[in-house]
Amino acid sequence: MAQRQQSPGQSGYADGTILAALDIGTTKICALIAVVEQGAPTIVGVGQADSQGLHRGVVVNIQKTVQAIQSAMEAAQQQAGIQVDEVIAGIAGDHIETIQTTSLISIANPDHEITEEDLHRLLSEAQRIPLSSDRRILHLIPQEYIIDGQDGIIDPVGMSGIRMEAKIQLVTALITAVENIHRCVRRAGFEVADLVLEPIASAKAVLTPEEMEVGVALIDIGGGTTDIAVFESQVLRYADVIGIGGNQVTDDIRRAFGILSQQAEQLKREYGHTFRDTLTEDETILLPGIGGRAPLELSRSLLTEIIQPRMEEIVEFVMAALVQSSYAEHLSAGIVFTGGGALIPGLEELAAKITGMPVRIGFPQHINPSGLAQEVYAPQYATGIGLLLYALEHPSVTDSPSYSRISSSFPKTVLEKVRRFLQEL
């Protein structure tokens, strides 16, 4: 498939800056290492490991998660020939909540010109909203600014006014979920430069500015969760997480045919189809028997009949969330599906039939076509690439010595770092 990547523009980073992203998913841990070239990331290292320490996006086993992070990061570093100390990591899970709030300040300077300092003061004021003791703010996203009663303002800096107000969306997470990710990454020998909500990251990788302007819903189907993010006028308007994903499809196949989970996952990936109406070739599939039993013979159409109801359920849950959010009627660009769960053929047609909206599958964009671009041109890498793009847009995230120029000396392995770390405990 041809590459459709393009540069997102200036990043503020010097060429040669190293960035590292860590997508901590329910079914896989994905590590990406990139070098900034002409304002865009060039992927130079990719590492993956099976994830067995998370449930629906939340860490439930520290040791297994640490081992998977170590394995993925070591593979990425060895491939890149680069050692990193910090990563920008993703977070998801059905513990994520969004809160709409407002913030208000007066402009005190004599000429009443709004400055960056006023803007920071306004946003800092928004963080004082009372939260339950078990939650913390992940993101603070202004929806619009209001100056002396005039609304719809996107960038207030430089304008004149006496009173400035902002409508703000707060994205919050369970403190324990955040701390466990930091703990796992630290025990693997790294530090978390920043923690980013995964659908925000994925959107940066697969959505176009035009889609984000007119209104679009990004749906990232992962192993344990399905993440929703709605954008309009270039701003995140709504975010939600549904506690169901591709693992449920795999489990349905396993139960239906009485096979192992590994066999069910292989069936889904190699022969799975989402929509019976678009299945053109009904081939016969032969599976080895378990424990000396006779081989299992099944048709692709029968497999589709197992997969389709669960995928319909996911799409219907998504549609219900969009309707409840009041943004379903604002999606002129329709819906973009990404993530590993979007790889099953037929999803576009099934979702279009259920939602009545334009639907497409989102592939990562905005990275340099050199390096390992071909290897990561797939929906399952959308979050990892989006995390790199997020870092490019937020230089303060990686403003530390560990995000440095490439060293000419060959780096020590992650395993050696981990051994030193364990010895210091």
Per residue in 185-194, pLDDT (tens digit) is 999 999 999 9
Q: Which pLDDT score is estimated for 94? A: 87
Supply φ then ψ for residue 410, to 5 degrees: -70, 130
> For 109-129, what is the mean pLDDT?
89
Domain ranges of the chain: 1-95+173-208+367-425, 97-172, 210-364
Sequence-ordered list of residues with C-beta below 8 angstroms from that of 403, at least 6 positions apart, any chain = 17, 18, 19, 84, 86, 193
**CA angle, residues 254, 56, 31, in degrees to nearest 5:** 100
- Among positive and negative, which fits the CA dihedral 124, 322, 96, 63? negative
Bridge-based pairing state of the strands 359-361 and 335-338: parallel
By C-alpha distance, which of 93, 7, 357 is closest to 216? Answer: 357
Tell me which architecture the domain covering 97-172 has in CATH.
2-Layer Sandwich (3.30)
In 3-state terms, what secondary structure has residue 390? helix
Task: Assess whether the region 1-95+173-208+367-425 and the region 210-364 belong to the same CATH fold.
Answer: yes
Encoding tokens for residue 145?
């600014």
Which residue stretches of 31-174 are H helix?
62-80, 116-126
**CA angle, residues 192, 198, 203, in degrees to nearest 5:** 125
Tell me which architecture the domain covering 210-364 has in CATH.
2-Layer Sandwich (3.30)
Distance, CA of 323 to CA of 187 (rounded, Å): 42
Cα-to-chain-centroid distance, residue 165: 30
pLDDT band of 296, cuts 50, 70, 90: confident
The model carries a pTM of 0.86
Distance, CA of 296 to CA of 370 (rounded, Å): 44
**pLDDT one-digit tens code per residue, 355-366:** 999 999 999 999
Kindly report the number of other CB atoms within 10 A of residue 181's CB atom: 24
**pLDDT one-digit tens code per residue, 302-349:** 999 999 999 999 999 999 999 999 999 999 999 999 999 999 999 999
pLDDT band of 294, cuts 50, 70, 90: confident
pLDDT band of 396, cuts 50, 70, 90: low
Q: Which of 14-23, 332-341, 381-390 has the lowest mean pLDDT?
A: 14-23
Q: Which pLDDT score is estimated for 286? A: 87
Distance, CA of 101 to CA of 122 (rounded, Å): 12
Sequence-ordered list of residues with C-beta below 8 angstroms from that of 71, at least 6 positions apart, any chain = 29, 47, 49
Distance, CA of 12 to CA of 9 (rounded, Å): 9
> For 33-56, what is the mean pLDDT?
93
The answer to whether residues 34 and 372 touch, using CB atoms and an 8 Å cutoff, is: no
pLDDT above 80 for 10: no
pLDDT above 60 for 402: no
Tell me which architecture the domain covering 1-95+173-208+367-425 has in CATH.
2-Layer Sandwich (3.30)
Distance, CA of 138 to CA of 95 (rounded, Å): 12
**pLDDT one-digit tens code per residue, 198-240:** 999 999 999 999 999 999 999 999 999 999 999 999 999 999 9
